[in-house]
Chain A
Amino acid sequence: MLGFTAFWLLSAPRPLPASAIPAHNGNIANGEILYTAGGCRNCHKPNAEPAGLDPNLPSGGFPLKTPIGVLYPPNLTPDIQTGIGNWSDLDFVNAVQRGISKSGQHLIPAFPYTSYAAMPVEDVLDIKAYLMSLPPVASPGREADLPIAFLLRRGLGLWKFLGLDTTPWQPDGSQTATWNRGSYLVNGPGHCGECHTPRNLIMARDNSRFMMGGPHPEGQGKVPSLHGLIETGRYKDQKDLVLALQNGEVFGYENMSSGGMGQVQANMAKLPQADVEAIAEYLISLK
C-alpha cells in the first residue's frame, strides 16, 4: 500500500502553471513552418477509413504502431467536440511540451514532446495559432490499444524523471546564426533525435550517443548515424545534402524513403530554402 502510494505520488503529472504562458499574438506563418518541420501531419493524419477525410488535414486517427501497442493520434483541427477547438494555450503547451493531455493523463512519448520541450513557448503557441486557422474536421478520437494502459500511462510519470529533459534549447555563441537555426530545427520541432539517437533500456534517448543511429524504433531495420556525413563520403558537401533533403530518392539519393524518412524528406522539401541549408549546415558539423 505504501509502495503504491509512493508510486502514485511520484508519478503524478507535473503540468506547467498558467503563469508559464506569456501574452502572445500567434504568428500563423511561423507556426506553419514549424508544423512542417515538426511533421505533425505525418502522425496526426486521418485513417483511410472512414473515407472522405482530407489527408492533408491533421484530423487524427491514423494507427501508429509502436513497440508497446497501437496508438491513435488525436484530432488537431479546431473542431470543438473532437479536436482542439476549446483547448486553451496552457492545455496545448502542456500536451506538446510536457506530455500531459487536457484530461491530465500522461501521453505516450511516441508523441515527441521530449524534443518539443526544448522549444520556446512562443513557437509552440505559433503552431497552435496555425492549427486554429485550419478548417475544423469532425473526427472523434480513439483509445490507444495498450496493455495495462492505466498503469503504463501513470508509470510514465516516473519515466519522465529520466526520459523528459525540459532544458530549453540554447544557441551556441561560437557558431553562426544559420548553424544555430539548423540546430534549433533539428533538436526542437524536427525531433530528428527521436529516431536517429539510439535508446536505452527504458526507451529513453541515450544522449551520450546523440544522432549515432541504431535499431529503428519501429522495430524493423536500422537508422543511420548522422555523424561524419561528409567525412564518410555519404554526401559531397553541404549543397549535396541540401539537394538530398529537398529531393530525396527522386534525385537518386539513397536511403531517403524507408522507415518513415520519406515523409520527413517530403516535409524538408516544403521548408524555406534557408532553413534546409541551415539544417544541412548543422548536420554536417556533427563529426
Chain B
Amino acid sequence: MLSRNLFKSIAAGAIVLGMGFSLAYAAADDQIKARQAEMKANGKAIGALAAIMKGEAPYDAAAVKASLDAMTAADAAAAEAKAWDASSMEGATVETWAKPEIWAEGSDIGAKYQAWVDARAALAATTDEAGFKAAFPALGAACQSCHESFRRPKG
C-alpha cells in the first residue's frame, strides 16, 4: 500500500536512473568513436609519410610538417574527448578493437604512448630527407608496438 509521494519518488528515481544509464551508454560510444577517429587520422597522416619513405612521393618538408601537425591535432582531440579513459569500455554499444588490457594493472600503455610522442618530436626536428628517413621508422614502430599488445585483430 504505497503512499502517493513514495510512489512519485520511486518513479522519479527510476527515470533519473534510466536517464543516467542512457547517458552513460552514449558517453562510452562517443569516447570510442573519438578514439577510432584519432586512429583513422593517424593512419592517414602516416600514410603520407610512408609514401615519402618508399619513394612514391617526393620529400617535402612542408608535407612532413602537415602530417605531424595532423597527428598532434588528433592526439589533442582524443584527449579532450576522454577517448582513452577506462570509462569508454563501460556500457558501450559501438564495437571497439581496444583490448581491456590497456587499463589493466601493470599496463605499459603510458610508455608506448610516450614513444609515439617522442617519435613525432624527433621527426619534427629533422630538416632534410636523410634526417627524415633516419627518424621515420621509429614513428611506425610506435604504432606497431601498441597495436601488437593492445589491439584486437580486426580481420
| Contacts from A to B (Cβ < 8 Å) | 213, 216, 220-224, 243, 247-263
Contacts and interface: CB of A to CB of B under 8 A. Distances in A.
Nearest to B143: A249
B58 interface: no
Given A243-B54, A254-B43, A248 B144 contact: yes
Nearest to B139: A250
Interface of B: 43, 46-47, 49-50, 53-54, 97, 99, 137, 140-141, 143-145, 147-148, 151-155
Nearest to B137: A250
B147 A257 contact: yes
Contacts of A247: 140
Given A252-B143, A258-B154, 20 more contacts: A213-B155, A216-B153, A220-B152, A220-B153, A222-B155, A223-B153, A224-B154, A247-B140, A248-B144, A249-B141, A249-B143, A250-B141, A251-B54, A252-B47, A252-B49, A255-B155, A258-B148, A258-B151, A262-B144, A262-B147
Contacts of B152: 220-221, 258-259
22 contacts: A213-B155, A216-B153, A220-B99, A220-B152, A221-B154, A222-B153, A222-B154, A222-B155, A224-B155, A247-B140, A248-B144, A249-B140, A249-B141, A249-B144, A250-B140, A250-B141, A252-B47, A252-B143, A257-B143, A257-B148, A258-B147, A262-B147
Contacts of A248: 140, 144
Nearest to B144: A249
Nearest to B53: A251
A260 B153 CA distance: 9
Contacts of B47: 252
A224 B140 CA distance: 21
Contacts of B148: 257-258, 262-263
Contacts of A263: 148
A257 B155 contact: no
Nearest to B141: A250
B37 to A, nearest CB: 16
A250 B137 CA distance: 6
Nearest to B48: A252
A250 B142 CA distance: 8
Contacts of B49: 252
Nearest to A214: B155
Contacts of B147: 249, 257-258, 262
A256 B50 CA distance: 15
Given A251-B50, A252-B46, A252-B50, A221 B155 contact: yes
Contacts of B53: 251
A266 to B, nearest CB: 9
A228 to B, nearest CB: 14
Nearest to A247: B140
Contacts of A256: 144
B133 to A, nearest CB: 12
A262 B97 CA distance: 16
Contacts of B143: 249-250, 252, 257
Contact of B140 (A223, A252, A258): A252
Contacts of A257: 143-145, 147-148, 151
